[in-house]
Amino acid sequence: GESVGLHLPTLSVQEGDNSIINCAYSNSASDYFIWYKQESGKGPQFIIDIRSNMDKRQGQRVTVLLNKTVKHLSLQIAATQPGDSAVYFCAENNNAGNMLTFGGGTRLMVKP
Amino acid sequence: EPEVTQTPSHQVTQMGQEVILRCVPISNHLYFYWYRQILGQKVEFLVSFYNNEISEKSEIFDDQFSVERPDGSNFTLKIRSTKLEDSAMYFCASKGSYSGNTIYFGEGSWLTVV
């Protein structure tokens, strides 16, 4: 059946290209940010995190960039593969609380 | 690799019934969470639990909901008198310490209220 809910922005890339997924956050007090990958019917899977005292962090094929001035977070995936196809969520946390606030998500589709 | 495990993976219940969703957090983790995701929407925080008590809860987590850690390994979410709008994927998550460790999620329990 047809799903009802938020219409996710979609990024479609060719296999092997680099992908950039963006996220805007609203809470200036947030000091910890995480990117999660969610495949259909599964739970959010941790990809990479960054603290507010950093502006860049690299993992294996992934890089997270944080711009606190404009409250913007991005996830770069190098050499995107079909297995990267999923919905990607950014999440933020602040020391005043112990919970994550998730963004709306972006669907990444990788064309072979 | 340690993981958060949840049961059942899918439950169908009649409106008005009570359901219990079960979770086994990662061993030696201290913080436990329930989140939910209505189909096609973003993940929403319900409740966090530390030191055998609720540490934070959202507006969604009203008197219909309760959590319990009945023993050293399980963490449960009880939903009383279920409503149609409770249909969602419920994720359990856990974290090792207050700061410096990320929150790891289970695969979810899909609840369908009919």
Mean pLDDT score across all residues of chain B: 92
- Check pLDDT > 80 for residue B1: no
Please report which confidence band the pLDDT of residue B2 belongs to, taking 50, 70 and 90 as the band edges. Answer: confident
Distances (CA, A) of B35 to A9, A55, A57, A106, B89: 22, 28, 27, 19, 8
Residues of chain A neighbouring B106 (CB-CB closer than 8 A) = 43
Please report which confidence band the pLDDT of residue A5 belongs to, taking 50, 70 and 90 as the band edges. Answer: very low
Please report which confidence band the pLDDT of residue A7 belongs to, taking 50, 70 and 90 as the band edges. Answer: low
Joined together, the tokens standing for residue B60 give 């969604």
Residues in chain B: 114
C-beta neighbour count of A20 within 10 angstroms: 12
DSSP chain A: ----SPPPPEEEEETTS-EEEEEE---TT--EEEEEEE-TTS--EEEEEEETT-SEEE-SSEEEEEETTTTEEEEEESS--GGG-EEEEEEEE-TT-S--EE---EEEEEE-
Q: Do B56 and A89 touch (CB under 8 A)?
A: no
Residues of chain B neighbouring A101 (CB-CB closer than 8 A) = 45
Task: Report the residue of chain A nearest B30, measured CA to CA.
Answer: A98
Mean pLDDT score across all residues of chain A: 89
- Check pLDDT > 70 for residue B80: yes
Q: Do A43 and B99 touch (CB under 8 A)?
A: no
Whether A29 contacts A39, CB under 8 Å? no
Kindly state the helix (H) or strand (E) to which residue B29 belongs, with its residue range.
none
- Identify the pLDDT of residue B83: 97
Whether A18 contacts A12, CB under 8 Å? no
Q: Do A3 and B55 touch (CB under 8 A)?
A: no
Whether B48 contacts B32, CB under 8 Å? yes
Whether B49 contacts B69, CB under 8 Å? yes
What Rg, from alpha-carbon coordinates, does chain B have? 13
Mutate which of B23, B102, B111 to disrupt the A interface (most A C-beta within 10 Å)?
B102
Joined together, the tokens standing for residue A14 give 């060719």
* Residue of A9, A30, A34 lying closest to A90 (CA atoms): A34
Q: How far off is chain B from A91, nearest CA to CA, in Å?
A: 10
* pLDDT tens figures, B44-71: 999 999 999 999 999 999 999 999 998 8
* pLDDT tens figures, B5-20: 999 999 999 999 999 9
